[in-house]
C-alpha cells in the first residue's frame, strides 16, 4: 500500500501550479501510490485575492476543485489536497478557511479539515511578519477518515507544533497523519525535521509531510524536506528542495507490532479538555 507526498515550489499562477501538480501526481500513481498528499497552498502562493478564489470554488466557478476531482478519477488515486482557501460550507461569502480536502479515487469529497492553528508569528526572514488570521478563519474540528491505506488524520503546517491535536487524532484511531505545509526556511531549518519525527514517534503513526521547497513570490523561501516517516520515527523518503514525488510503503503489520510492544496510548495519563471532539468520517 504505497503512500506518496508531493513537494512543490508553487507560484502565484494557478494553472501553472495545477499542471505541475498533475505531473507529480502522475509520478505517484505510476509508482503504485494509493494515497498522495499535496503541499499547503499547492494551487497558489503569494496571492492576495484568497477570499475571491475561495468564493469562486465554492460557487462552482473556479478551476481548482474540478481539476482535483478529475485528477483523482483519472489516476485512481486518493488525494489530500494540501490547502485551498474555501469559505464555510454553509456560507459562500464567509471568511475563508485554510482547508485541506480528502478526495477519493472516484473524485468524491470524503472529508474536509479547516486548519485549527493559524500562523500569526514573527520570523527573522525576508518577510518578517506572518498573520494568517488576517486572511483566514480558525477551524473548529479534528478530522479523521478511513482510506484504502488506513485511517487518516488531517492537519496543516503550523498544527505540527501542537502535540495535543496529534494525540486527539491517534485517540480517534489515526494510523496515518497528513501534514501539508509551507514552513519558512528559517523555522523549517530549526524545527521541521525534529517535529515531524516527534509527531510520528508520539502517535505511532505514519506522518506524510508534504512541503513547499524553494522560492515563491515576494522572495518568500520555504524549507522543503518533504518526508514520509514511519511509526518508529524512521525517515523512509525525503527531498530537500525543488519539486518531487516521494513514495514509501505502509507496513501495517509492523505498525501493529510497534503499538503492541510499546502501548503508549494505553499509558497516557494527561488529557486536555480544550481539544475539539474528533469528527470521524466512516
Of the residues 40, 57, 238, 243, only one is catalytic, namely 40
Out of 57, 69, 99, 157, the active site residue is: 157
Element at 72 (helix H, strand E): helix 64-75
Catalytic residue list contains 95 = no
**Dihedral sign, Cα of residue 105, residue 92, residue 279, residue 179:** positive
* Residue 99 appears among annotated catalytic residues: no
What the block records as the C-alpha cell of 242 is 525543488
> Using CA atoms, how far apart are residues 110 and 151, in angstroms rounded to an integer?
12
* Coil, helix or strand at residue 120: strand
Q: Which class for 260: exposed (0-12), middle (13-18), buried (19 or more C-beta within 10 A)?
A: exposed
Radius of gyration of the CA atoms of the chain, in A: 17
Cell of 185: 526556511
Q: What is the crossing angle of helices 64-75 and 50-58, to 10°? A: 60
**DSSP count for the chain of H helices, then E strands:** 8, 17
| Other beta carbons within 10 Å of 194 | 9
Distance CA 221, CA 40 (A): 14
Catalytic residue of the set 57, 69, 115, 238: 115
Active site residues: 40, 115, 157
Amino acid at each position: 500500500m504505497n503512500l506518496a507526498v508531493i513537494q512543490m515550489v508553487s507560484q502565484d499562477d494557478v494553472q501553472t501550479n495545477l499542471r505541475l501538480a498533475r505531473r507529480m501526481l502522475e509520478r505517484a500513481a505510476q509508482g503504485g501510490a494509493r494515497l498522495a498528499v499535496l503541499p499547503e497552498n499547492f494551487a497558489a502562493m503569494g496571492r492576495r485575492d484568497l477570499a475571491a478564489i475561495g468564493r469562486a470554488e465554492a460557487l462552482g466557478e473556479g478551476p481548482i476543485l474540478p481539476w482535483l476531482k478529475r485528477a483523482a478519477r483519472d489516476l485512481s488515486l486518493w488525494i489530500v489536497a494540501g490547502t485551498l482557501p474555501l469559505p464555510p460550507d454553509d456560507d459562500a461569502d464567509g471568511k475563508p478557511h485554510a482547508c485541506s480536502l480528502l478526495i477519493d479515487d472516484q473524485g468524491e469529497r470524503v472529508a474536509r479539515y479547516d486548519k485549527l492553528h493559524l500562523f500569526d508569528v514573527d520570523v527573522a526572514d525576508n518577510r518578517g511578519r506572518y498573520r494568517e488570521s488576517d486572511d483566514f478563519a480558525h477551524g473548529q474540528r479534528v478530522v479523521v477518515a478511513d482510506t484504502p491505506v488506513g485511517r487518516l488524520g488531517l492537519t496543516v503546517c503550523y498544527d505540527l507544533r501542537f502535540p495535543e491535536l496529534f494525540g486527539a487524532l491517534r485517540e480517534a484511531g489515526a494510523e496515518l497523519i497528513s501534514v501539508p505545509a509551507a514552513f519558512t526556511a528559517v523555522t523549517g531549518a530549526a524545527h521541521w525535521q525534529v517535529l515531524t519525527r516527534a509527531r510520528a514517534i508520539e502517535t505511532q503513526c505514519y506522518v506524510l509531510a508534504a512541503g513547499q521547497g524553494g522560492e515563491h513570490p515576494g522572495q518568500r523561501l520555504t524549507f522543503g524536506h518533504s518526508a514520509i516517516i514511519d511509526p518508529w520515527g524512521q525517515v523512509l523518503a525525503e527531498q530537500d528542495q525543488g519539486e518531487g514525488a516521494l513514495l514509501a510503503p505502509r507496513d501495517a503489520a509492523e505498525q501493529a507490532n510497534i503499538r503492541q510492544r510499546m502501548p503508549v496510548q494505553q499509558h497516557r495519563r494527561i488529557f486536555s479538555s480544550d481539544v475539539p471532539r474528533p469528527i470521524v468520517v466512516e
